[in-house]
Amino acid sequence: MTALLELRHLTVEYAARDRRAPAVDDLSLAISRGETLALVGESGCGKTSVGRAILRLLEPTAGSILFDGEDVRTMRGDVLQRFRRRAQVVFQDPNASLDPRMRIGEIVREGIDIHALMPRPKAELRVAHLLEEVGLPASTAARFPHECSGGERQRIAIARALAVEPEFLILDEAVSALDVLVRQQVLQLLATLQSRRKLTYLFIAHDLAVVERVATRVAVMHRGRLVECAPTRQLFSAPAADATRALLAAIPRIPWETRASGEGR
Partner 1 sequence: MSGATTWQRLRDDAAARTAGAVLGAVILAALFAPWLAPFDPTVQPDPVSLRLLAPTPTHPMGTDAFSRDVLSRLLHGARISLGVAAGAMLLSVVLGTTLGALAAVIGGWVDAVVSGLVDVLIAMPRLLVVIALVATFGALSPGWLVLLIGGSGWLTTARIVRAEFRDHLQRDYVLAARALGASRRRIIWRHLLPAVAPQIGVAAALALAAVIPLEAALSFVGLGVQPPMPSWGNILMDGTDYLTTAWWLVVFPVTAIALTVGAALVLADRLRVAIAGGERTP
- Contacts with partner 1, residue ranges (CB under 8 A): 52, 55, 57, 80-81, 84-85, 87-89, 91-93, 95-102, 110-111, 114-115, 144, 146-147, 157, 160, 164
For residues 73 and 85, which CB has a smaller minimum distance to partner 1 in the complex? 85
- Distance of closest approach, residue 213 Cβ to partner 1, in angstroms: 26
The C-alpha torsion from 188 through 194 and 197 to 203, rounded to 10°, is 120
Contact in structure between 228 and 222 (CB atoms under 8 Å): no
Q: How far apart are CA 124 and CA 247, in angstroms?
A: 44
- Distance of closest approach, residue 122 Cβ to partner 1, in angstroms: 18
> For the chain, how are helix, strand and coil distributed in percent, rounded to 5?
40, 25, 35
- Distance of closest approach, residue 107 Cβ to partner 1, in angstroms: 9
CB neighbour burial string for 132-151, b if at least 16 within 10 angstroms, e if fewer: ebbbbeeebbebebeebeeb
For residues 146 and 196, which CB has a smaller minimum distance to partner 1 in the complex? 146
- Distance of closest approach, residue 55 Cβ to partner 1, in angstroms: 5
For residues 102 and 246, which CB has a smaller minimum distance to partner 1 in the complex? 102
For residues 149 and 261, which CB has a smaller minimum distance to partner 1 in the complex? 149
Q: How far apart are CA 168 and CA 200, in angstroms?
A: 5
Rounded to 5 degrees, φ, ψ at 165 are: 55, 55
Q: How far apart are CA 208 and CA 108, in angstroms?
A: 30
Q: Within a 10 A sphere around the Cβ of 26, how many other Cβ atoms?
A: 14
- Distance of closest approach, residue 256 Cβ to partner 1, in angstroms: 39
For residues 10 and 169, which CB has a smaller minimum distance to partner 1 in the complex? 169
- Distance of closest approach, residue 88 Cβ to partner 1, in angstroms: 6
Contact in structure between 63 and 89 (CB atoms under 8 Å): no
For residues 55 and 208, which CB has a smaller minimum distance to partner 1 in the complex? 55
